[in-house]
A = this chain, B = another copy of it.
Amino acid sequence: MTSQVGRKWVYLFREGSTNMRDLLGGKGVGLVEMSAAELPVPPGFTITTEACNAYNPSGQEFPPGMWDQTMEALREVERKTGKSFGDPANPLLVSVRSGAKVSMPGMMDSILNLGLNADAVQGIARISGNERFAQDSYRRFIQMFGRIVLDISGNAFEEILEEAKQRVSASSDTDLTAAHLKEVVRQFLSLVEKETGTEFPQDPLEQFRLAIKAVFASWNGKRAVDYRNFYGIAHDLGTAVNVVAMVFGNMGDDSGSGVAFTRDPATGTPRLYGEYLVNAQGEDVVAGTRTPASIAEMARIMPEQYKELLQIAERLESHYRDAQDMEFTIERGKLYMLQTRAAKRTAQASVKIAVDMANEGLITREEALQRVEPLQINHLLLPRFDEEAKKRATELGNLLTQGLNASPGAASGKAIFDADRAEALGLQGESIILVRPETSPDDVHGMLHAKGILTARGGATSHAAVVARGLGKPCVAGAEALTVEPEAHRCTVDGRVINEGDEISIDGATGEIFVGRVATIEPRLSEERDLTTLLGWADEVRRLGVWANADDPVAAQRALDFGAEGIGLCRTEHMFFEKERLPWMRQMIMAAAQATRLEQELQALEKEAAAGDRSKELEQRLADQGALVAGSEDVKRFREALARLLQFQVQDFKAILGIMTGKPVIIRLLDPPLHEFLPRYEDLLVEVTTLRLKGDDPATLAERENLLRMVEEMREQNPMLGLRGCRLGILYGAINQMQARAIFTAACELVKDGSDPHPEIMVPLVGHANELRLVRQELEQVAQDVQQELGIRVPYKIGTMIELPRAALTADEIASHAQFFSFGTNDLTQTTFGISRDDAEEKFLLKYVELGILPENPFQVLDREGVGKLIKTAVELGRRTNPDLEIGICGEHGGDPSSIEFCNQIDLDYVSSSPFRVPVARLAAAQAVLTSHQLGLRFADV
């Protein structure tokens, strides 16, 4: 660490500058900038984040010189205000607030009215001529200081205040007189003495010193540390301390406090929006004890000040070139600005504000693109409650309560209070909302099978919230009005009882909870005008293609509607699970091994004969084997099933290729282990055991035993690493041939109908170039045969999925047999980490993220250090062999903005995401380009 001696630890607002965000924190810089613009900001100063970073590791001692500099700055504030800190006659009061570079809940917020004591309260009363105001300020100060600095429960203070109100039947704080408040102050002071064993600190400098220390310490409070861990914020940033001369909104009806947004943060509508409370300090506006008026109301009550605020709002928005969230206070008619910052906003508002501002010329289109968090727009396209239906439900009194909007999306279902039951019913296809006091890893299996999660306790970083976001399910957390009694299978809100099985609805975007079912709507992109505009701009900027993963015509159409430029992954096996197909699939599988063996033996003999080793004996063996094949029941059943599956697949591919006419469609050959299509081994085992014990149905028993034996032979220790992917096609060539025939037949028929299909066949799970070489030979043969038979040429490609480390490491060899690569990052992440997603997520992966071992779930955000290194290697090696190689990514990461940025960096051709994520990917791909340009500039600057 560099020397601390002689360092500047304290900056007056006029001394700071815009580029000091690291040093002064967000709040501090806001005050500096408003001061510089000569907006009405009370005088004050900021103690730097460096002071915090020097303080905490050094046994909690202020760094040398800091206190002296603080005193000097305080004297400057005294000069400016004409008041004096600690002077009972004309006391200067200040607010002390933390303020890190990034806004962070969990740290100390504010202590107002610091500097008050028994003497100063008299001075204030005298000067203001308002005894009530003086006592009110003092009681507020004791309460805040007691709770935040002295660690006394806030409830204890609230109880005293509540009692006082009850004693005089006051409905609100403002109904309490100066005398009442004086009594409250007395009780507060004795509460402090009882709890801490010493008197409430009366020395203002001692109060000040303790408050600064509390701010510094709050940087390392548990919640703050957890929050930083969760959001990956560095622990060495530190917090600044802002000290501002108090102005008073609670000096009477010509005073007040408010919060205002330059644009509506819910809808984005460009008008001043906010709340205002007469005769109140800032804390009252947010505390909810009194209901604030809308900012429009203020125009009526205080037209002068409203006009001034409006002008300031415009100036701030122009200056910051973004919608602002401002705090202000009016003291006896004079407006003071206390804070300004970028406004938090809904997804809808975010898009509208960006587009409007670009259209207004306030920002460029490129900036507009960077103003919207790509994942936010996903919310715009998620199924959500119909606003009308929500309104009706609210009018009917069905809005139960509101919690934290912990994970977006809307869901309705039966309230279930334990995870086991949620799982059981979920598996039966019921829509379930899992309701718990809070969740733990023991609940995850239930969460997996619920449509949504609701908890009474816990915040945005609680287990429920983290897991739900991970699972992409709606979650409302910390609904504190809710009392959940799992043992009694019910929950209550204000005496209203929800029993197990009652339907409820939760809105993860707003935190609202309704009784009963609320209708949902599926938004259409075309109706989202602003979003359409923004995405249009994105398309002009981005370099990456955006394709979608779609297994059926419905998904393909949706992908197209959302702007997909191709299908990056069509998983053919999903089609085999359909009811009318599964029996044929099973018949095919049951006969495959035996039929293939017989046919391969025949082929081997034919090859031997063709190679010239022909002898009498060989002729005989050929004849024998031919007869064996011809007479085999297995061969017959195998061929019959394949023929049926071929028909189904031709229909499937015709539909999808037809929808995507003119665009590439990557069809992956059969991938999962075949036993996935058979009944579960465990179910058969129970069935057979039961049949054996009963002993009354030998025919069924024999049949089921046979099936059990077959499934037993096929099941694997680690099916993820077993007989699947291209390994299947290599062992059972007829399956690949059938699929290829279906693809080319469909394509040829479409061409005949005037369509323009572009099938690309993807060979999965290749680990060695020889696998692809072999499979490709077979596929090319079928392509040639079908095209010849139908007399039609079809443009097509054959390529592979890179989803094994070895494929990435030997991509140069593989590329000599491939026309395209598509990174299957799900499997590649599994093998690179040696983690089975199915097993790990519940059992240890979330725990790993919680412990900070992994920065995030690598199945959501691509691990650049490990998996990313492999991908980069594969791209370099692959292009070295085959410069025309088409390269994309089709794992779930294809819809994740950080992963998309990486794909852009390493120069992939496209990303393929789920249809709903296509708009996200379009925006993220544009941002990736803009970011890389900025980085480029920065590098050039160096």
Contact = CB atoms under 8 A, between A and B. Distances in A.
B730 A834 contact: no
Nearest to A442: B597
Pick from A681, A718, A870 the residue with the most CB of B within 10 Å. A718
B222 A608 contact: yes
Contact of A839 (B608, B717, B803): B717
A682 B682 CA distance: 7
A357 B940 CA distance: 70
Contact of A830 (B222, B597, B721): B721
A723 B612 contact: no
Contacts of A689: 685-686, 689-690
A396 B669 CA distance: 61
Contacts of A919: none
B806 A832 contact: yes
Contacts of A716: 836, 838-839, 843
A722 interface: yes
A504 to B, nearest CB: 28
Contacts of A682: 681-682, 685
B617 A851 contact: no
A366 to B, nearest CB: 35
A833 interface: yes
Given A689-B690, A768-B854, A827-B834, A720 B717 contact: yes
Given A153-B617, A616-B153, A835 B767 contact: yes
Contacts of A297: none
A12 to B, nearest CB: 31
A806 B827 contact: no
B836 A721 contact: yes
A770 interface: yes
Contacts of A616: 153
Copies of this chain assembled into the complex? 2
Interface in A148-166: 151, 153
Contact of A767 (B151, B834, B870): B834
A244 to B, nearest CB: 27
Given A685-B686, A831-B834, A843-B723, A853 B771 contact: yes
Interface in A426-469: 440-442
A613 interface: yes
B723 A770 contact: no
Interface residues of A, number: 75
Interface string A658-701: 00000000000000000000000110011001100110000000
A722 B840 contact: yes
A718 B840 CA distance: 10
A741 interface: no
Interface in A870-888: 870
A862 to B, nearest CB: 13
Contacts of A836: 716-718, 720-722
Given A153-B617, A805-B831, A851 B774 contact: yes
Contact of A838 (B222, B442, B717): B717
Contacts of A731: 844, 847
Given A767-B834, A832-B805, A869-B809, A615 B151 contact: yes
Given A611-B221, A613-B221, A719 B722 contact: no
Pick from A806, A813, A833, A867 the residue with the most CB of B within 10 Å. A806
A486 interface: no
A414 to B, nearest CB: 24
Interface in A850-875: 851-854, 863, 865-867, 869-870
Contacts of A832: 804-806, 809, 831
A693 B691 CA distance: 11
Nearest to A773: B853
A718 B863 contact: no
The SS class assigned to the A binding surface is: helix
A290 interface: no
A220 B613 CA distance: 10
Nearest to A727: B844
A188 B8 CA distance: 114
Contacts of A827: 834
A755 interface: no
A213 to B, nearest CB: 11
Contact of A843 (B612, B722, B767, B831): B722
A590 interface: no
A611 to B, nearest CB: 6
Pick from A217, A617, A865 the residue with the most CB of B within 10 Å. A865
Interface in A758-776: 765, 767-768, 770-771, 774
A614 interface: yes
A826 interface: no
Nearest to A681: B682
A419 B725 CA distance: 28
Contacts of A847: 730-731
A828 to B, nearest CB: 9
A401 interface: no
Contacts of A805: 805, 831-832, 834, 866, 870
Given A685-B682, A770-B853, A806-B833, A839 B723 contact: yes
A810 interface: yes
A866 B806 contact: yes
A153 B690 CA distance: 58
A720 B723 contact: no
A732 to B, nearest CB: 11
A839 B616 CA distance: 40
A847 B686 CA distance: 34
11 contacts: A153-B615, A686-B686, A716-B839, A717-B719, A722-B835, A767-B833, A774-B851, A803-B834, A805-B866, A806-B867, A809-B869
Interface of A: 151, 153, 217, 220-222, 440-442, 597, 608, 611-617, 681-682, 685-686, 689-690, 693-694, 716-723, 727, 730-731, 765, 767-768, 770-771, 774, 803-806, 809-810, 813, 827, 830-836, 838-840, 843-844, 847-848, 851-854, 863, 865-867, 869-870
Given A722-B836, A809-B870, 12 more contacts: A222-B608, A440-B597, A693-B694, A718-B720, A723-B840, A730-B853, A803-B834, A804-B832, A805-B832, A805-B834, A805-B870, A809-B865
